[in-house]
Amino acid sequence: MMRQSLATVRSLKWVDYVYFALLEPRRLVTRISDEASKPYWGALLVVFFASFAEILAASLVTVNTHFFYHKITYGLLLVFLINLMKIAVVALLIDALCQCMGFDGMVKTIFAVAGYAFFPQMFVLPLVYIVKVFSFAPVFFLSVFSIVLGIWSAIIVIVGVSEIHSMQFSKAALVFLFPYAAVGLYAFLVVVLVVMNLLGYVAAI
């Protein structure tokens, strides 16, 4: 797989992946499905560079100290692993729901699409740098740009799921929201249980 991925880099096929991820997600799914070796290495690189851009963009709007060097190394690794874990959980839950709906299991393809969907988030660094140069509320725009680019990434995944399983965009959007609803519900129940236990402990004192 590594040799085939390196051959893909030399052949400039990755340009097609970037273009399709940004502008034509349906063709991205087709390209990923047609590849004998799924381009997971490319998806991992996209997530890595997106995490790097996120760290640098956050550093632009804060006062940096010697801790910056730890943030740019260990912090980058942590953000990269968190993003990978988020992609894996979302892909697994989306695929599980799709299988419950009668579709085939395509978790590997969904994972690759979700990885390439991180590409728009690289734009947060140049956008924040522009507002930083003009000193025009960089912290506020960092949040705005992150939300907008996150929505763009979500749309890419939704279109990808729609193409993979040949379902309507609206249904794919609901499928995409399922992991976040499930995690939110789980977190809410955990908080309720913790609060109930704390109240019971205080009442018993």
**38 vs 110: CA distance, rounded Å:** 11
Specify the pTM.
Answer: 0.81
**Residue 129 in this model has a pLDDT that exceeds 60:** yes
Structural domains counted in the chain: 1
Please give the residue range of the domain that contains residue 58: 2-204
What are the residues whose beta carbons fall under 8 Å from the beta carbon of 65, sequence distance 6 or more?
Answer: none
Higher pLDDT: 93 or 135? It is: 93
> Across the chain, what does the average pLDDT equal?
83
**Residue 148 in this model has a pLDDT that exceeds 90:** yes
Closest CA to 35 of 54, 61, 57, 11: 11
pLDDT value for 32: 79
- Per-residue pLDDT of 22-65, as tens digits, reads 888 888 888 777 765 557 778 888 899 999 998 888 888 876 66
**Residue 186 in this model has a pLDDT that exceeds 70:** yes
Tokens found for residue 111: 């994972």
For 101, list phi and psi in degrees, rounded to 5.
-85, 0
